[in-house]
Amino acid sequence: MRITLKKSAPVFHVALLALIVGIPILRAEDPLDKMNPAESMKLFDQMVEEKYRALSEDFEANPHFRNANLNEYRDGVESPFIEELYGFNWNNARKLTDRELKAIIEFHMPPYEVFRQAMVGYYNVVFQRPTDLKEKDLITVINFDEPTHSRRFYVFDLEKNKVLFNTYVAHGYPSDQDKDRIPETFSNTPGSNMSSLGFYLTATSLGPSPSFRFVNRIEGIDGALNDRARSRAILLHEWGPMEPSTMASRGSLPTTEGCFGLPAYVSGRFFGLEDEPLNDLIIKTISGKSLMYAYSSTVDLVAKSKYLNDVRAAQTFEGLSGFDGNRRKYERELKRHGRKSAKEQFVADQIKKAREKRAAQTPAPIPSPEPSPVVSPIPSPAPQAAVLPPRAAQAAARRLRGCAPG
């Protein structure tokens, strides 16, 4: 039976006809849809809980973060960079007084839910923008539920399960409208001078700006939450007053015009690092397309962020397990496949894994015994074909093709 379809036949008619005549309809299925969301979420939550526990243990084991040890490396010798960079003498290495130490909130990890949201965002960014994250698996978390005088800025090394930095960070002054030192109002509007929430990528370039000596011009990637960060000139930059003596005298730390201000006069050697401004050390570490997450419970970030899809994060994590959880292997595969979109590459990875698993489970076919040799009879000589003249042969061929002239 021959079925002829017009080129303009609707897809529905083609599908209906295929069902009638028994032709199977083939469609490309997304392997992500084949994953069990509940199982993926279970694996993801186990990973996040284990990582949070490991980071908490590293945090507790680091003596430099403890208030009782904040004077350990403060030997009274001013850091050379104070005069070199800022042009004045100020003893940043004097020991903190008991009054100043009492004003400092004891170190602590961010709440688990804040960290979990940061990890959900991390894997969503891996899925949507897999080539945008730097080689080191770093994430910076800012918890704006904490007041200005709390060390609410964290840098986590997810690969080594290390807490690299924990320090103060300033917010935009209009964000704290009730003056309780905790920002509760956020905006992405130019001229608002408010802080913005959501996920950012740090820039690759470092250096001065018209107003600051050493900055990182971060990129807001989270839609209406912060995508005007560049046009608003939102920066990570040094902010001199972000240090304990200022906090003890004022009762709080100063704010900015929307930027993320980090300690400049505090030296890294107070925490067992190089004798450089803490701001410089942080920016050098996280620069080059690492992820930063600014959180506040006053905004429903799960509803407004582009990167807080739990199921997609869990499935991305499960998919990366095919590369032993190694994102850099995933990125190399992406480049090798001609820089396909993240979803296309992820689907290709899953198809490849499924085929390899199916091939490993399929038993090898049992070879059939070779047939016994059969002695063929000696063929009888074929009858001699009649040889037609050329014109008669052409006419015969036309008749066989049904196109002989009438």
The structural domains of the chain, with segments of one domain joined by +, span 37-320
pLDDT digits (tens, 9 = 90+) for 332-363: 555 555 444 555 555 556 556 655 766 676 66
End-to-end CA gap in the chain = 30
Question: By CB neighbour count within 10 A (0-12 exposed, 13-18 middle, 19+ buried), where does 346 fall?
Answer: buried
Asked whether 30 and 344 are in contact (CB, 8 A), the reply is no
Q: How confident is the model at residue 46 (pLDDT cuts 50, 70, 90)?
A: very high
Residue among 340, 288, 281, 337 at smallest CA distance from 127: 340
Mean pLDDT of the chain: 80
pLDDT digits (tens, 9 = 90+) for 133-152: 876 789 999 999 999 889 99
pLDDT digits (tens, 9 = 90+) for 378-393: 554 544 444 444 454 4
Q: Residue 5's pLDDT is what?
A: 45
Topology given in CATH for the domain delimited by 37-320:
L,D-transpeptidase catalytic domain-like (2.40.440)
Q: Residue 14's pLDDT is what?
A: 45
Q: Residue 319's pLDDT is what?
A: 79
Query: Rounded to whole angstroms, how far apart are CA atoms 94 and 330?
Result: 48
Query: Rounded to whole angstroms, how far apart are CA atoms 363 and 281?
Result: 57
Q: Residue 285's pLDDT is what?
A: 95
Between these two residues, 56 and 322, which has the higher pLDDT value?
Answer: 56
pLDDT digits (tens, 9 = 90+) for 207-266: 888 888 899 999 999 999 999 999 999 999 998 777 877 777 776 778 999 999 999 999
